[in-house]
Chain A
Amino acid sequence: MDNTEYLRPSNLKELGQIMAGHKNRATVIAGGTNLIPQMRNGGKSPELIVDIGDIQDFSFIMEDDGFISIGAATTIAEIASSDIVSTFSPILASSARELGNPLIRNRATIGGNLANASPCADTALPLLALDAVIRILSPGDKTRNVVLNNFFHGYRFTDLGKGEIITRIIFPKPDDETTGSQIKIGLRNAAAISVASIAVMLTMEGKICRKARIAAGSVAPIPMRVSRVEQLLENQEISATLLEQCKAIMKKEISPISDIRGSAEYRSYVTAVILERNIQRALS
């Protein structure tokens, strides 16, 4: 950590300049809840840390024209206690409440949670299910949008190029026919990293499911949408038989590993259990 440079821009313009000028060596830090432990363990030794903590307009939760926008540096605690988030996307609010512990939630940001691209990133699942889009600031003051489902490329590997930074997360306000549910299995309630988790959003027309979004965490190298299960549900009446089929497909689609938090076998089993439970809860 001794040779790390540190910059703390005070606005988006300065940030853009720094990121463009040092694009090969800049590592962005917000809450630092991932980066600092990684540096301590000797896993990462960035040459230049760019701290976005001073930038105004980076931390907000807005409802605007049918969309919810959340600034990348908005803390998990702010999301967990936001009325807007609770009203329009309760599954994002509840997953934020289950992330880490109060100390972590007060520091960690939603942008950081996504950029770190851990398979167990708690906020990624509801955001995937909500069809979220990531807005990215690229060198040269350019802005581009990426659908979150295309953002995670592999284990801790994202669509972010050199010198790029997430600025906000945007998702459409779900309509009245759309409901969601989210379940995280951890080893305990407090500060648990998920063993397996699922978020579900369903749009219903009477008994028929018109649109399904299923996202699963900690069961693949990335937080993932499970499209085959979604397709199975869409335009169908959700029956017990269909749920059994969904569970079977779910187990095939995921590729969990065994680690200290759980075996592959257990993860596969409980993922199917919480899928069913989520769908039932979303419909109830």
Chain B
Amino acid sequence: MEQNKFHAIGRIARRKDGIAKVTGREVYSSDVTLPHLLFARVLRSPIPHARIKSINTREAEKMGAVCITSEDTPDIKYNERQVSIPEKTYRDRVVLPDKVRHVGEGFAAVAAKTESLAEKAMRSIEVEYEKLPAIFDPYEAMRSGSPQLYDEICLGDTKLPIESNIACHREVGEGDVEHGFKEADLVVEKEFRTGRVYHAQMETKSVVCRPEPDGGISVWPTTQSIHNTRQLLGRIFSISLNKLNVHRVPIGGSFGSSIQMNTCIPICVALALKAQKPVKLVLSREEDMYDHCKYPVIIQLKYGVKKDGTITAGELKTIVDIGGHNIQAYPLLGCMAGWFVSLYRMPHLQFDGTAVYTNKAPGCAMQGYGNPQVSFAVESMIDIIAEELGMDPIALRLKNYVGLGETFWGQGPTVRSVIRSCGVEEMLLKGKDMIEWDQRVSPDKKTGRYRKGVGVARGFHTSGTGAPTPGEVIDYSTAMVKVNEDGSADFSTALMCHGGGTLEAGAKIVAEELGIPIDKVGISPADTRSTGYDVCTHATRGIYCGGASIQRAAKEAKAKLLKFASRLLDVNPEALKIQPREESDQGHIFLPGSLEKHIPVGEVAKMAQYKGWGTAIGVASHRQVNCPPCFVTNFIEVEVDTYTGEIKTTRAVAAVDCGTPINPDLAAGQLEGGLCRGIGLALLESTDYDPETGRLTCGGTFIDYKFYTPVDMPPVDKVKTFFADTYESSGPFGAKGVGEAANNATAAAVVNAIYNAIGIRFAEAPVTPERVLKALQNQPDVEK
């Protein structure tokens, strides 16, 4: 199928939420206001590890504040992320604990009539802490005799003892690696580390709750999954789901920070239930930075290769410092194994991952879910191998990549599917020309203060977590499409748009399927009562999985519409077609080849109403049975100032194989955004902790937490993006995902470019000017 056959798919259209967003009229959680609203503040630990011996809230209550502590909240262990099946869900936390495990962990909360009164009341609470020894290094944490964060937690509903602070461990193997290494002509081994990056999503986590007269509660939260938020709240507070309504609210960015039901949500619900009034809780930036971060990893990577570049074996061992709570480390380790296995073919492979508790803010998914970290190591290593073998890095990649017809692990070992569309070669070869790869010279031929280098890295992400058999991860979506009586249509789904245009894509899918203009498709507000289950908008599944359910619902609505039209036109419904017509600004149903047999969509819907035939409506609840990889390739040029260690990014080519790009402009924007975050991971970002106080050294604000910005990016005309020309037959109109793929290859491309500039291999991110300068001072040939 060719793209130019589409009238809506691939069209650049005005965003439906664009005007509201740029004029400040969009209503985010923190903008939701209700009569008699109270404002909440959470009392958070200044100590990294402590038992709360006593809490005195008398002063706060005298001020008129409603207060809650662990005694007022259900003693039910939960895990805020509910994407895995219960048997694979590690539950280690409660709404308000009596033991805190990192600075910034909340253990009491207040609600009062004004924000300042709430703040004052919160500060008046007297707390007696029993300080416990804290631990910040994962290796130290695993040592026997180290302070323990937990004695036991729950795996599903079963008690699970915790030893040596090991939250979970996962081993995956195929073949015999020792044998594979023996077959190799060259064995390379190296340790890689990535930083504890903060999501830095624009909107801090927020929530508004309103207790309802029937004993239920309505919630307006920052979340990527309204249904999981509802289910978790129902379980924690024993509220029947039909009385628990969670509204979809536009989200101010996420990068994965709200896959889970954020911990501020049940705290706010508990306050609202006690106060019997609506309560709003908006986290400060500092609170948000103490709430979550990207998983930092230490990776020991080993490959065996033949002289011709064929990989014979691969082994990846990783330690992940997950912080004070296990939000999703088990699936993370599985995914890391999957990313490793699916990058390059290895007849023999071994993965060994350990997630370790420390007294820091918990790690959670962040754009790529372990993939940028694994790709950082693997793609650095591929360049190392290429140099050792005297091969071109692109040729080595082309020789070994996992592609068409091969098996791909989309979400760990239990979610596998066969690759049916692949643009890897196209992207590497076209990108190579665009960056003028052939003019690249080796670092030893470079002189002068400023040295430029070009690097390449490739990668992919899964599109969703669907597979032919049910795995340990839940994945399906539900959608409803209906045709209105004027020829317009509405669709509803619990999918979320994080800013990348997921719902815009939904509208285009409906428009394309129904044959009506994009402008005539409305995105319905969604809440858990009026939509069917959708797992979560995560895992780059929005368009591929969510969009597929929308397409199926639209097909059903279309079938009904054509049935009605067939009665009116006296034509077999299967002979009819729909196309938008400019002159009437709606879709027209017609019999090809006939001048008389045609009727506007609105006319059909209206007649169906008058005649009592019903509404042309379709509902679909659908699981994709694949998780096709959306491949990505980055070429980046850097300029290293050998006098100061500063690194500028000067040119970039970013390409993605997302199948049919449904929103080409927004998908290109995602590529640029992914580059920006990926460069930040490589050069700038990490939340470090002071081992004395257990606090963030950046203080929890953007004054000293710096991420890469548009001003730091290469000039606009030096950033080129393109799409591989592929069609994924299992996706809606040939589409796969983009989101996370966009940033998975970037950090490796940056360090490969730095190597090409100055001949120094950095295996630890971020590569700060200080690290560069220190490394350069050991290089004799660089003038200082």
Contact = CB atoms under 8 A, between A and B. Distances in A.
B239 interface: no
A247 B706 CA distance: 30
Given A188-B684, A260-B704, A261-B704, A2 B116 contact: yes
A189 B709 contact: yes
Given A260-B697, A274-B644, A188 B770 contact: no
A104 to B, nearest CB: 10
Nearest to A276: B643
A146 interface: no
Given A187-B684, A190-B710, A270-B645, 13 more contacts: A2-B120, A185-B646, A188-B708, A188-B711, A189-B709, A192-B706, A193-B703, A193-B704, A262-B770, A266-B770, A266-B773, A269-B773, A270-B644
A188 B709 contact: yes
Contacts of A261: 704
B769 interface: yes
Contacts of A277: 643
B265 to A, nearest CB: 25
A190 B770 contact: no
B644 A273 contact: yes
Interface in A155-195: 185, 187-193
A269 B772 CA distance: 13
Interface in A193-207: 193
Contacts of A2: 116, 120
A226 to B, nearest CB: 19
Given A188-B712, A190-B709, A190-B711, A266 B769 contact: yes
Nearest to A188: B712
Which 9 pairs across A and B sit closest by C-beta, in order of nearness? Answer: A190-B711, A190-B709, A189-B711, A266-B770, A273-B643, A189-B712, A188-B712, A187-B706, A260-B697
B87 to A, nearest CB: 43
24 contacts: A2-B120, A37-B703, A185-B644, A185-B646, A185-B769, A187-B684, A187-B706, A187-B768, A188-B706, A188-B709, A188-B711, A189-B711, A190-B710, A190-B712, A191-B709, A192-B706, A260-B688, A260-B698, A261-B704, A266-B645, A266-B769, A270-B644, A273-B644, A277-B643
Nearest to B120: A2
Interface in A235-284: 260-263, 266, 269-270, 273-274, 277
A1 interface: yes
What bracket does the count of chain B residues touching chain A fall in?
A: 20 to 34
Contacts of B706: 187-188, 192
A110 B712 CA distance: 25
Helix, strand, loop or mixed for chain A's interface? loop
A263 B768 CA distance: 12
Interface in A107-162: none
A41 to B, nearest CB: 9
Interface string B765-776: 000111001000
Helix, strand, loop or mixed for chain B's interface? loop
Which of B643, B708, B710, B768 has most A Cβ within 10 Å? Answer: B643
A2 B123 CA distance: 14
What bracket does the count of chain A residues touching chain B fall in?
A: 20 to 34
Contacts of A37: 703
Contacts of B703: 37, 193
Nearest to A186: B706
Nearest to B641: A273
Nearest to A40: B284
Nearest to A277: B643
Nearest to B705: A260
A277 to B, nearest CB: 8
A191 B703 CA distance: 8
Contacts of B697: 260
Interface of A: 1-2, 37, 185, 187-193, 260-263, 266, 269-270, 273-274, 277
Nearest to A272: B643
A260 B705 CA distance: 9
A65 to B, nearest CB: 39
Contacts of B116: 1-2
Interface string B608-651: 00000000000000000000000000000000000111100000
A188 B684 CA distance: 8
Contacts of A191: 702, 709
Nearest to A263: B770
B638 to A, nearest CB: 14
Contacts of B120: 2
A50 to B, nearest CB: 22
Contacts of A269: 773
A263 B770 CA distance: 8
A190 B706 CA distance: 9
B678 to A, nearest CB: 15
Nearest to A269: B773
Contacts of A262: 770
Nearest to B683: A188
Interface string B711-730: 11000000000000000000
Interface string B214-228: 000000000000000
Interface string B742-774: 000000000000000000000000001110010
Nearest to A183: B644
Which of B120, B684, B703 has most A Cβ within 10 Å? Answer: B703
A260 B686 CA distance: 11
A155 to B, nearest CB: 17
Contacts of B646: 185
A262 B706 CA distance: 13
Nearest to A2: B116
A190 B708 CA distance: 8
A216 B340 CA distance: 49
Contacts of B769: 185, 187, 266, 270
Contacts of A274: 644
A183 B712 CA distance: 17
Interface in B680-704: 684, 688, 697-698, 702-704
Interface in B160-219: none
A2 B115 CA distance: 11
A189 B773 CA distance: 19
A190 B688 CA distance: 21
Contacts of A193: 703-704
B202 to A, nearest CB: 14
Contacts of A263: 770
Contacts of A273: 643-644
Nearest to B646: A185
Contacts of A187: 684, 706, 768-769
A33 B43 CA distance: 27
Contacts of A192: 706
Contacts of B768: 187
Nearest to B123: A42
Contacts of B704: 193, 260-261
Nearest to B642: A273
A273 B702 CA distance: 28
Contacts of B688: 260
Contacts of B712: 188-190
Contacts of B770: 262-263, 266
Contacts of B698: 260
A184 to B, nearest CB: 11
A192 B710 CA distance: 13
B348 to A, nearest CB: 43
Which of A2, A188, A191 has most B Cβ within 10 Å? Answer: A188
Contacts of B710: 190
B284 to A, nearest CB: 9
A189 B648 CA distance: 10
Nearest to A42: B123
B611 to A, nearest CB: 59
A228 to B, nearest CB: 22
B647 to A, nearest CB: 11
A160 to B, nearest CB: 24
Contacts of B711: 188-190
Interface string B260-275: 0000000000000000
Contacts of B645: 266, 270
